Amino acid sequence: MSSKLAALNHWVSEVSQLTQPDQIHWCDGSIVERDALVELMLERGELLALNPETHPDCYLHRSHPGDVARVEHLTFVCTADQADAGPNNNWMAPDQARASMDGLFTGCMRGRTLYVIPYCMGPIHSPYARCGVEITDSPYVVANMRIMTRMGADALARIEREGRFVRGLHSIGELDPERRFIMHFPEELSILSYGSGYGGNALLGKKCHALRIASWQARNEGWLAEHMLIVGIQNPQGETHYVAAAFPSACGKTNLAMLIPPVTHAGWKVWTIGDDICWLHPGPDGRLWAINPESGFFGVAPGTGRNTNPNALDMLDRDAIFTNVAVTAENGPWWEGKSDETPHKDWQGRDFDPGRGPAAHPNSRFTVSMRQCPSFSAEADNPAGVPISALIFGGRRESLVPLVFEALDWNHGVLVGASMASETTAAATGAVGVVRRDSMAMKPFCGYNFADYFSHWLSFGDRLEHLPKIFHVNWFRKGPDGKFLWPGFGDNLRVLQWILERCAGRAGAVETPIGLLPRREDLDLRGLESLNGSLDALLAIDPAGWRNEWADVGNYLDSFGARVPDALRAEHARVSALVGHVAPA
Ligand code: OXD
Ligand code: MN
């Protein structure tokens, strides 16, 4: 073993002394290894094979019913100085955190196999990619990491070349919510996760590494690690422009990433680069370049149907892992919104009884390689990434926030991102449907103080010669009857079209106190004539509502104290004045 791997070997042996596994398996990422793991999980009942005729190589995992989502209240950022983690994170002193985690990990792998998973986040030869190693005792985690990351021999070879990697130690422990913690040590680039097998808590390459740890690395190194999808939008002239868009969990990022244009839009095409995470680097040409660090989708199943996301349905009929979905009498996967079939067994394996709620868990998931997506773009493997023309922020807001608006400049756009708010969803435990501020959709994922994060975002105003434009969208406005005002899904392309036309300097807009809005005639609404009255509401500005909104944003910024950058406060004062609210200086 080369000396560059000595640190890795040393760490693996330290962990095995602590956790006492029966055996150690170094994952090579091969199909043979995958098949053996699947076999093992089938034997142990941790996976159930779905119908091999209709869904070859598809498996169902039923998690512990108390382990179905991310646990934000049990997720910590452990920096030496609490102020570096900020009020946006739970904090514990690193020594104390390590000591209590050591207690939990002691002997926890007795009778189990310890798997060493070398992985690479991003195209394997990209200078922007970063490697990590996850140690876990869960074969389900290994099988998922194989889909979600570039895992195995190539990643190990890169680690051997570079000698550096993020360390993640995970054990499902006893799956006891009382003994469950997800701890991050950004100063050491390490993660300790105990007691949960749920994706966001256990697939450490995803939220823990690619967002919480990477956001810290990104700040130190001059780039951004964001909770954003990435798509290429090809127009009928054959030009493709790329945008990255941040939405909170379960707000339709996967659907937008795989959008199929409406029938009125012949010649348009959306290419999928990523659906959840985006690493943005200033490129040599002064533009912002994006890579998707992941290689698969860990998507929310409910609501994925022929009308909402046909591309997703088409990629899910082979080689996929389903977690907590229901099954049909033919042993196919099923969830609310998938088809008219009647589910046979619910997500817990019980005979389906509508009286007990939905058949699939609202946060049930699919894990599938991005290569299976019909709209997959080969640019997702481009080591240089793709150049970004526009950044989009969006939330789930029933009222107030219009369909789309453009920020006046970079600082205004950063304020718009920082003030994002959304109604909570089932992706995290806790109440669903409560409006909370979720800056850049990073509230659960930023590995450091939001005030410093806002400064870092503002700094790109000087770092980049060609800044992308920033927009805000809201697909979720409701009318007085409680129905959505905007059709959403494929029709969202019309909004993306306006955004790209604005970037090209071709579309009109009207300046309002909150930013630049399209007028009816600036949007391509062919085929949406039925929208009529709704469009007025979708594009209206309610000054009194915005006075309250900006006052609330002011309180929110205050909650981060003196570290909030002056430029952001100045921007807040400016926009507040425009709606007639006097923000405290
Ligand atoms: C996810 C999430 O799983 O944001 O992507 O919760
Ligand atoms: Mn996400």
Q: Going by CA atoms, what residue is nearest to atom 3 of ligand 1? A: 200
Element (H, E) at 220: helix 214-221
Residue 1 pLDDT level (bands cut at 50, 70, 90): low
Give the predicted TM-score (pTM) of the model. Answer: 0.97
Nearest-angstrom CA–CA distance, 470 and 211: 21
Coil, strand or helix: which one is 228?
Answer: strand
Looking at ligand 1, which atom is closest to the CA of residue 248? 4
Distance between Cα 200 and ligand 1 center (Å): 6
Reported as a single tens digit per residue, the pLDDT across 559-576 is 999 999 999 999 999 999
Nearest-angstrom CA–CA distance, 373 and 370: 5
Nearest-angstrom CA–CA distance, 296 and 257: 13
Residues 6+ apart with CB under 8 A from 147: 295, 296, 321, 367, 368, 369
Q: What is the mean pLDDT of residues 467-489?
A: 95
Nearest-angstrom CA–CA distance, 510 and 311: 35
Q: Which of 147, 209, 249, 277 to mutate to test the pocket of ligand 1 (most atoms within 8 A of CB)?
A: 249
Closest CA to 470 of 422, 524, 416, 400: 416
Is the minimum distance from the CB of 70 to ligand 1 under 6 angstroms?
yes
Reported as a single tens digit per residue, the pLDDT across 200-255 is 999 999 999 999 999 999 999 999 999 999 999 999 999 999 999 999 988 889 99
Residue of 120, 131, 251, 373 marked active site? 251
pLDDT at position 561 is 95
Q: Alpha-carbon torsion 257, 262, 265, 267, what sign?
A: positive
Nearest-angstrom CA–CA distance, 454 and 236: 37
pLDDT at position 432 is 78
Closest CA to 226 of 281, 186, 189: 281
Distance between Cα 259 and ligand 1 center (Å): 19
